[in-house]
Amino acid sequence: MSVSSTPSIMPVSFIPFISTEQFHHDVRAQLAKDIDVLFAYAELPSPLLDACRYVMTGTGKLVRPLLVASAFASTYSHNEADNKNSMADADGLEDLLENDSDYDMCRRAALAVELLHTYSLVHDDLPCMDDDELRRGQPTAHIVFEEATALLAGDVLQTLAFEVLTAEMPTFAPFDSAIASQLFAIFAPRARRMVSGQMLDLNAEATVGISQNDLEAIHRDKTGALIEAAMLMGGICAGATAPQRMALQECAQHIGLAFQVQDDILDVTTSTDTLGKPAGSDEKLDKSTYVKLIGVDKATNYAQSLFDEGRAALTRELNSRELSSDELDDSTDNDALMALIEWLWARKK
């Protein structure tokens, strides 16, 4: 059921998965257009609008919207294959998506997770938190704008993250109320968990004797919760079955934790220029990290095992049949989500 009265919708073509590089380029390009549409809709006053544009249009990896889009593409691909319809049949799939607005709900979800993530970065960088001066290769918001404006920019990005799921905006089909309610049910508690994880992370600074279980509990919320939301929201927009949602959630839990372990490793092994943020900041703030707890080599091995478990979870449920070893090796060539996981494992920032 769709509820809206937005006039003159301009349909947006579904982005098929052809290659990792092309898919990621197309998703990023669509997200940039959608950010412009959202800010035109929101009518924010200056300098609040300027600050929001500044932090939302930098050179970030955009991992979370890529997770939404990849989970959507992979879920639709597998479900269409079960119905003897290939993802390569783009016209037929576009017709399907345009009719029921699933893809536009995916675009809304991609915006939502990036808005929420960026809000968290803006607030993390404030003097009262990590007091960082560099983010995504450019000065942080409170350095370019005054601290009060940066604070309010984070606030409004958080509210827009929820509003965008049902906002009446040009270029978007009317929102689907059934899908939107499911997205809210996934998104809201994980947004809360993200903030709780940030508090636990602050509490753990300079803590002696923190265990790996304690560290994982922090990061399953601080980092993992939003990654989990992104994958589930993409799957929901594509009509994921209950077993598929369970597989996406299990995969996301492993990948979310692996992502944080990687971040801890990169903080001590990569330069500031490559990271786009200050290297060594974890040590400066005396944060509890996997590198501090178990060392770089063991942390790297742990991240690898988590990625392997994430891949295995997807393989079990998001394939209509058992794959041969050769097909598993080739899965990154034709599956958006598996390709993204490989891209994440190879990242250097």
State the CATH number of the domain containing residue 311. Answer: 1.10.600.10
Orientation angle between helical segments 102-124 and 20-42, nearest 10 degrees? 80
pLDDT given at position 289: 87
User: If pLDDT is split at 50, 70 and 90, which confidence band does 333 have?
Assistant: low
Termini Cα distance of the chain: 41
- Say what the pLDDT of residue 332 is: 55
Instruction: Name which of 154-158, 188-192, 326-330 the model is least confident about.
Output: 326-330
Residue 161 lies in a domain: yes
What share of residues in the chain are helix, strand, coil (percent, to 5)?
70, 0, 30
Is residue 74 very low, low, confident or very high in pLDDT (cuts 50, 70, 90)?
A: very high
Residue predicted with more confidence, 24 or 77: 24
Largest CA distance in the chain: 60
Round to whole Å and give the CA distance between 234 and 287: 32
Q: How many domains does the chain have?
A: 1
Length of the chain: 349
Residues 85-91: what's their mean pLDDT? 47
Q: Does the residue 14 lie in any domain? A: no
Q: What is the pLDDT of residue 167?
A: 97
Query: Which parts of 270-321 fold into alpha helices (H)?
Result: 272-275, 281-284, 290-294, 296-317
- Asked if the structure places residue 11 within a domain, the reply is no
Is residue 257 included in any domain, yes or no? yes
Which tokens sit at 35?
Answer: 């950010």
Report the percent of the chain where pLDDT is more than 70: 83
Tell me the whole-structure pTM to 2 decimals: 0.88
In angstroms, the CA 241 to CA 104 distance is 19
Q: What is the dihedral of CA 237, 238, 244, 245, to 10 degrees?
A: 0
Is 9 among the domain residues? no
pLDDT at 3 over 80: no
Mean pLDDT, range 151-162, rounded to an integer: 98
| Better-predicted residue by pLDDT, 324 or 15 | 15
Q: What is the pLDDT of residues 254-284, one digit of tens each?
A: 999 999 999 899 988 887 777 666 767 766 7
Structural domain of 340: 20-345
Please compute the mean of the pLDDT values over residues 76-81 and round it to a whole number. 79
The predicted-structure confidence for 206-253, as pLDDT tens digits, reads as follows 777 789 999 999 999 999 999 999 999 999 999 999 999 999 999 999
Q: How far apart are CA 217 and CA 207, in angstroms?
A: 15
Average pLDDT over residues 174-185: 96
pLDDT: is 334 or 295 the higher one?
A: 295
Secondary element (H or E) of residue 30:
helix 20-42
pLDDT attached to residue 134: 87
- Residue 40 located in a structural domain: yes
**Strand runs labelled E in 38-136:** 134-135
Report d(CA 204, CA 288) in Å as an integer: 6
> Is 5 among the domain residues?
no
Residue 270 belongs to a domain: yes
Tell whether the model's pLDDT for residue 182 goes beyond 90.
yes
Do residues 34 and 204 touch, judged by C-beta distance below 8 A?
no
